[in-house]
Amino acid sequence: MSPEDARAEMARLAREIERHNRLYYEEAEPEIPDAEYDRLFRDLELLETAFPDRADPNSPTRRVGGGAIQGFEQREHPVPMLSIDDQFSEGEMAAFFARLQKGLGAERVPVTIEPKIDGVAVALHYRDGELDYAVTRGDGVVGDVITENVRTIRRVPLRLAAGAPSWLEVRGEIFLPKQAFAELNQARDEAGLPAFKNPRNAAAGALKLLDSREVARRPLDFLAHGHGRLEGFAPASSLELVEEMKRLGLPVNHPQWRAGTVEEVLAAVRELDHLRHSLPYETDGAVVKVVDFAAREALGTTARAPRWAAAYKYPPEQKETVLRAITVQVGRTGTLTPVAELDPVLVSGTTVRRATLHNQDEIDRKDVRIGDTVLIEKAGEIIPAVVKVVLEKRPPETRPYDLFAEIGGKCPACDGPVAREEGFVAWRCRNPGCPAKTANRLKQLVSRKALDIEGVGTIVAEKLVERGLVVEPLDLFTVPEESLATLNLGTEAEPRVLGSKNAAKIVETLGRARDLPLHRWLFGLGIRQVGESAAKELARLHANLGELAASVILRELRTFTTGQRKDANDLLAPYGISGEVGPTVAASVVDYFESEAGAVLLARFGELGIDSRSGNYAPFAAAVASDGPGVAGKTFVITGTLSSPRDEIKERIEAAGGKVAGSVSKSTDYLVAGEGGGSKREKAESLGVAVISEEGLAELFAAGSAAEETEEARDPGEPLHP
Ligand code: IVH
């Protein structure tokens, strides 16, 4: 066969295969048996192997996945991918419709109503009818390029029908059908792998796989619901757009209703509520969109979402199940949390087996008893909660649940004494050496937002404590590598050791963790009231841990009552602190460092030679304020494709005392522009904002650290006064 003939034959086979794909997926009416389809497929593969330089990159064979790709490139959306405003009641929906009427000065406003698909938003860019690239929503401005993975989704056409516009950006959702989700989890169960929490996570996880062959094994699906950039095609309405998308072979979201009045909208929303559970994918709402594009233009958008669309969120699904037992968990600070053990039940698409009951007061309030039938829903569609007891179904022999009595007055993890602090509803284990507490504190220290010690997960943390290698979380830094390597994660009967490779990796990561900035350590220490944001703000106020322990400003701050919040804010304003740190946080931090535990901790840091420094210390930032050299005190916007992930660059800027904003405005100091990045660059240029490259940013970092050294030399560690 000549190369030319081969090319023609490959094209014919590709068209044939795509046609059968369409018949199979779109029309559910296959013309040929699977074996014959496979034969066509193999013929095409053989030809492509024989004539690789004539093979089409958009060949249907590419759907099986081309193997590993290196990380993900990032790309800016030519039109931002906005969010959508949620409406939580029919009243709110009616108010939205009234705003449309007012904004357009019309009584009737033609809109469509369709299911909100609980999937992963994606933009597919077709250039001259060929799938060119696919990008995730990302932060709405920039997303990950996931073309290879999207190619594996059979429902996504790689090539559109004849007469496609020169550029068509199709927006839609990639999702895992409910059925496929259930099967996938069953298979994972059998293979001893952890189950996915919900279909959306499974889909998102699949799309982030770096090996597209793996992606091809997940039966992902796609439906289109909108557009981004269009060239060579200017539809006047969404109806025209949908017609054209269908004609081009794109699967379009359905069912869809049309309405012109608020009554019609609400009727459609109610109808969809009945129907949605029988749809093949998860839905949590109905999307209402204005049909006419000129009307959309007139209504405009806010920074976050268009004014011409809204999502009606259905109240969470509620299911009944039986509460078989109540177990008690011991948290990081010793809090005893009762947890309901339930008969497994499917709620809003996931199987629920456990739900927190929070504390004794909550149990009393709801009068929850073992053996009760309870009503379960998922708060925010994620966290299962017991709504109430179905009293009519209460068996005769139940009795009120008393946590203290059930645990015999002792911590279920260590048999230590428990107590209820004044003003608190929760019982707490008072044993400072309780292994459950230590394991949870260790988990906090190694968590991603703290020291990020990847090799130490739940089981490793628990075993380290159980085997006595870690008594205090910081002991992790002195566990010998051999002890880590031989740590038994299994049982006496069935030992399973961590291994020397993993041990070496943990030791190496720990070495690097020593130099992480103060806020990461602070968050990891798990001091009460100190979450991620508070930790960052505390690090703005203090150069290192010693300074924090002796803090003058926190001692002043803790004397304010909640009513004096404004005074507290005034005290902090010069440091650019925005409100996470107030009297409560201050009191908690001061109490901690004045306690025995705090003193021991500081001594331990000294012994280990760990001297974590603030990466965003405000006085440094102030000293090199907006007109000084460096990054501190400046506002940056990042655009285009850069050599390292955006999050990383953002973190570096923040660590150096700078800020990163999402869009260019007058207060932007620098636009860091990589390749691409058109609209932001234009905006920056029009506002006279400096546009710099990555190298330019590196120079700013260098200038900043030079300034910082001078500052440090002049004024070492003087306590802060406002
Ligand atoms: S239209 C931006 N229609 O919901 C306004 N969006 O919160 C136009 N989504 O990430 C959006 N199903 O990807 C539209 N039928 C549907 C949708 C839908 C799911 C997603 C969308 C976006 C999010 C907005």
Give yes or no: residues 530 and 441 share one domain. no
Question: How would residue 630 be classed by pLDDT, with cut points 50, 70 and 90?
Answer: confident
**CA gap 94, 110 in Å, rounded:** 14
Task: With a cut of 50, say whether residue 623 has pLDDT above it.
Answer: no
Give yes or no: residues 577 and 448 share one domain. no
Q: How much is the pLDDT for 130?
A: 95
Distances (CA, A) of 461 to 194, 336, 488: 19, 19, 12
- Distance (angstroms) between ligand 1 centre and the Cα of 234 equals 21
The winner for highest mean pLDDT among 163-177, 193-207, 668-682 is: 163-177
- Going by C-beta distance under 8 Å and a sequence separation of 6 or more, which residues neighbour residue 457? none
**CA gap 433, 276 in Å, rounded:** 51
- For the chain, what percentages of helix, strand and coil (3-state, to nearest 5) are there? 40, 20, 35
Give yes or no: residues 160 and 207 share one domain. yes
67 assigned to some structural domain: no
149 assigned to some structural domain: yes
- Distance (angstroms) between ligand 1 centre and the Cα of 648 equals 28
Domain stops at, among 483, 513, 543: 513
Atom of ligand 1 nearest to the CA of 311: 7
Question: How would residue 633 be classed by pLDDT, with cut points 50, 70 and 90?
Answer: confident
Report the share of the chain in percent with pLDDT over 90: 52
- Distance (angstroms) between ligand 1 centre and the Cα of 439 equals 41
For 162-199, letters b (16+ CB in 10 Å) and e give eebbebbbbbbbbbbbbebbeebbeeeeeeeeeebebb
pLDDT, tens only, 122-181? 999 999 999 999 999 988 899 999 998 899 898 999 999 999 999 999 999 999 998 888
Provide the 10 A C-beta neighbour count for residue 49.
Answer: 10
Mean residue pLDDT across the chain? 86
Give yes or no: residues 172 and 185 share one domain. yes
Give yes or no: residues 460 and 530 share one domain. no
Q: How much is the pLDDT for 645?
A: 78
Distances (CA, A) of 341 to 1, 344, 397: 67, 9, 19
Q: How much is the pLDDT for 481?
A: 96
718 assigned to some structural domain: no
79 assigned to some structural domain: no
Atom of ligand 1 nearest to the CA of 137: 10
Give yes or no: residues 589 and 653 share one domain. no
Report the share of the chain in percent with pLDDT over 70: 89
Asked if residues 115 and 255 have their Cβ atoms less than 8 Å apart, the reply is: yes
Q: Which residue lies with its CA nearest to atom 15 of ligand 1?
A: 116
Q: How much is the pLDDT for 405?
A: 96
471 assigned to some structural domain: yes
Q: How much is the pLDDT for 150?
A: 93
Atom of ligand 1 nearest to the CA of 305: 2
pTM: 0.53
Q: How much is the pLDDT for 709?
A: 46
Q: How much is the pLDDT for 491?
A: 87
Domain stops at, among 473, 495, 513: 513
Give the range among 60-64, 304-308, 409-413 with minimum mean pLDDT: 60-64
Q: How much is the pLDDT for 210?
A: 63
Give yes or no: residues 119 and 214 share one domain. yes
One-letter amino acid at 576 equals G
Comparing 623 with 551, which gets the higher pLDDT?
Answer: 551
Q: How much is the pLDDT for 716?
A: 32
**CA gap 525, 333 in Å, rounded:** 11
pLDDT, tens only, 554-567? 998 888 876 676 77
Give yes or no: residues 503 and 639 share one domain. no
Asked if residues 413 and 435 have their Cβ atoms less than 8 Å apart, the reply is: yes
- Give the binding-site residues of ligand 1, using a 6 Å CB cut-off: 82-84, 114, 116-117, 121, 137, 173, 225-226, 253, 287, 289, 306, 309
Asked if residues 345 and 314 have their Cβ atoms less than 8 Å apart, the reply is: no
Q: How much is the pLDDT for 579?
A: 62
49 assigned to some structural domain: yes
Query: Could you tell me the CATH number of the domain that includes residue 373?
Result: 2.40.50.140
Provide the H-helix boundaries in 470-595.
Answer: 481-485, 500-513, 518-525, 532-541, 545-549, 552-557, 565-572, 583-594
The string of DSSP letters for 86-153 reads: EE-SHHHHHHHHHHHHHHHT-S---EEEEEEE-SEEEEEEEETTEEEEEEE-TTSSEEEB-HHHHHT-
| Annotation says 116 is catalytic | yes
Task: With a cut of 70, say whether residue 221 has pLDDT above it.
Answer: yes
Q: How much is the pLDDT for 165?
A: 97
- Distance (angstroms) between ligand 1 centre and the Cα of 57 equals 30
**CA gap 161, 274 in Å, rounded:** 35
Give yes or no: residues 122 and 228 share one domain. yes
Give the range among 129-133, 164-168, 394-398, 704-708 with minimum mean pLDDT: 704-708
Give yes or no: residues 384 and 490 share one domain. no
Q: Which of 169, 173, 302 to mutate to test the pocket of ligand 1 (most atoms within 8 A of CB)?
A: 173
| Number of independent structural domains in the chain | 6
Q: Which residue lies with its CA nearest to atom 3 of ligand 1?
A: 225
**CA gap 458, 452 in Å, rounded:** 13
Comparing 527 with 241, which gets the higher pLDDT?
Answer: 241
Domain stops at, among 450, 483, 513: 513
Domain that holds residue 642: 622-709
pLDDT, tens only, 281-338? 888 899 999 999 999 999 999 888 999 999 999 887 889 999 999 999 998 888 899 9
**CA gap 635, 245 in Å, rounded:** 41
Query: Could you tell me the CATH number of the domain that includes residue 157?
Result: 3.30.470.30
Give yes or no: residues 452 and 581 share one domain. no
Asked if residues 350 and 380 have their Cβ atoms less than 8 Å apart, the reply is: no
Give the range among 519-523, 573-577, 662-666 with minimum mean pLDDT: 573-577
Mean pLDDT of 500-517: 94
Q: How much is the pLDDT for 499?
A: 93
pLDDT, tens only, 245-268? 999 999 999 999 999 999 999 999
Give residue for tokens 């060579």.
Answer: 232
pLDDT, tens only, 229-239? 999 999 999 99
Query: Could you tell me the CATH number of the domain that includes residue 691?
Result: 3.40.50.10190
- Distance (angstroms) between ligand 1 centre and the Cα of 115 equals 9
* Catalytic residue selected from 102, 116, 197, 501: 116
One-letter amino acid at 641 equals T
Atom of ligand 1 nearest to the CA of 86: 7
Work out the angle at residue 241's Cα, subtended by the Cα atoms of residues 165 and 147, and round it to the nearest 5 degrees: 60
Asked if residues 122 and 174 have their Cβ atoms less than 8 Å apart, the reply is: yes
Task: With a cut of 80, say whether residue 25 has pLDDT above it.
Answer: no
pLDDT, tens only, 345-393? 988 767 899 998 988 988 999 999 999 999 998 764 557 889 999 999 9
Q: Which of 87, 114, 117 to mutate to test the pocket of ligand 1 (most atoms within 8 A of CB)?
A: 117
Query: Could you tell me the CATH number of the domain that includes residue 26?
Result: 1.10.287.610
Instruction: Indicate the angle between helix axes 435-446 and 458-466, nearest 10 degrees.
Output: 140
Query: Could you tell me the CATH number of the domain that includes residue 467?
Result: 1.10.150.20
Task: With a cut of 70, say whether residue 610 has pLDDT above it.
Answer: yes
Give yes or no: residues 674 and 687 share one domain. yes
Comparing 684 with 548, which gets the higher pLDDT?
Answer: 548
Q: How much is the pLDDT for 615?
A: 81
- Distance (angstroms) between ligand 1 centre and the Cα of 529 equals 36
64 assigned to some structural domain: no
Atom of ligand 1 nearest to the CA of 289: 1
66 assigned to some structural domain: no
Q: How much is the pLDDT for 577?
A: 66
Q: Which residue lies with its CA nearest to atom 21 of ligand 1?
A: 121
